[in-house]
Amino acid sequence: MSTQIEPGLLDADAGPAVGDNLTPYTVGELARAVKRTIEGAYGLVRVRGELLRVKRHTSGHIYLCLKDEDAVLDGVVWRSAVSRLGLIPEDGIEVICTGRVTTYPARSSYQLVIESMELAGQGALLKLIEERRKKLAAEGLFDSDRKRPLPSLPGVIGVVTSPTGAVIRDILHRLADRFPRDVLIWPVAVQGATAAAEVAAAINGFNALPLVGWPRRPDVLIVARGGGAIEDLMAFNEEIVVRAAAASAIPLISAVGHETDTTLIDFASDVRAPTPTAAAEFAVPVRLQLLARVEECSSRLLFQIERSVAFKRSELQALERGLGNPRHAIEAHAQRLDGLEERLEGARRNYFDRQAQTVGTWGARLRHPLQQIQDMKRHLETQGRSLDAGFRRSVDSAQARFQRLGDLLESYSYRGVLKRGFALVSDSAGHAIGSSTDASPGTEVSIEFHDGKVGATLDGTAETPARSRAVKAEAPKSGPQGRLF
CATH number at residue 215: 3.40.50.261
| Assigned domain for 425 exists | yes
| pLDDT at site 460 | 60
pLDDT at 2: 37
Residue 398 shares a structural domain with residue 464: no
Report the number of distinct structural domains present in the chain.
5
Which of 230, 262, 284 is the last residue before a domain boundary?
284
- Could you tell me which residues come within 8 angstroms of residue 32 by beta carbon, excluding any fewer than 6 positions away? 105
Compute the distance between CA of residue 267 and CA of residue 252 in angstroms, rounded to an integer.
11
- Residue 447 domain boundaries: 417-478
Q: Considering the domain boundaries, does residue 325 fall inside one? A: no
The residue out of 410, 437, 469 marking a domain boundary is: 410
Q: Which of 190, 182, 176 is nearest to 232 (CA)?
A: 190
Q: Report the alpha-carbon distance of residue 190 to residue 259 in Å, rounded.
A: 18
Residues 207 and 238 in one domain: yes
- Please give the mean pLDDT across all residues of the chain: 82
Could you tell me if residue 5 is inside a domain?
Answer: no
Q: 443 and 458 in one domain?
A: yes
What is the predicted pLDDT for the residue at 154? 92
User: 96 lies in a domain?
Assistant: yes
Whole-angstrom distance, CA of residue 267 vs CA of residue 138: 13
Contact 269, 254 (CB under 8 A): yes
The predicted model gives 257-265 an average pLDDT of 84
Classify 111 in phi/psi space as left (phi over 0), alpha (psi -120 to 50) or beta.
Answer: beta
Q: What is the pLDDT of residue 463?
A: 55
Q: Do 104 and 166 fall into the same domain? A: no
26, 102: one domain: yes
Instruction: Note the pLDDT of residue 471.
Output: 46
pLDDT surpassing 90 at residue 485 = no
Is residue 344 one of the residues assigned to a domain?
no
Give the CA distances from residue 76 to residues 88, 89, 117, 148, 448, in Å, rounded to whole numbers and listed in that order.
14, 11, 12, 44, 130
pLDDT at 11: 45
How does pLDDT run across 430-474, given as a tens digit for each residue?
777 777 777 778 778 888 887 888 888 877 655 555 555 544 444
Q: Does the pLDDT value for residue 67 go beyond 80?
A: yes
Residue 374 lies in a domain: yes
392 and 421 co-located in one domain: no
Average pLDDT over residues 141-156: 90
Q: What is the pLDDT of residues 297-311, one digit of tens each?
A: 999 999 999 999 999
Domain boundary among 378, 410, 442: 410
Cα distance between residue 207 and residue 201, in whole Å: 10
Whether 361 is in a domain gets the answer no
Shared domain for 302 and 273, answered yes or no, is no
Same domain, 444 and 382: no
- Which has the closest alpha carbon to 90: 126, 112, 62, 114? 62
Q: Would you place residue 93 in the very low, low, confident or very high pLDDT band (cuts 50, 70, 90)?
A: confident
pLDDT confidence bin for 203, thresholds 50/70/90: very high
Of 19-23, 144-148, 260-264, the range with the highest mean pLDDT is: 144-148
Residue 242 and residue 314 in one domain: no
Q: Examine the domain organization and report whether 210 and 109 are in the same domain.
A: no
pLDDT score of 253: 94
The answer to whether position 443 is within a domain reads: yes
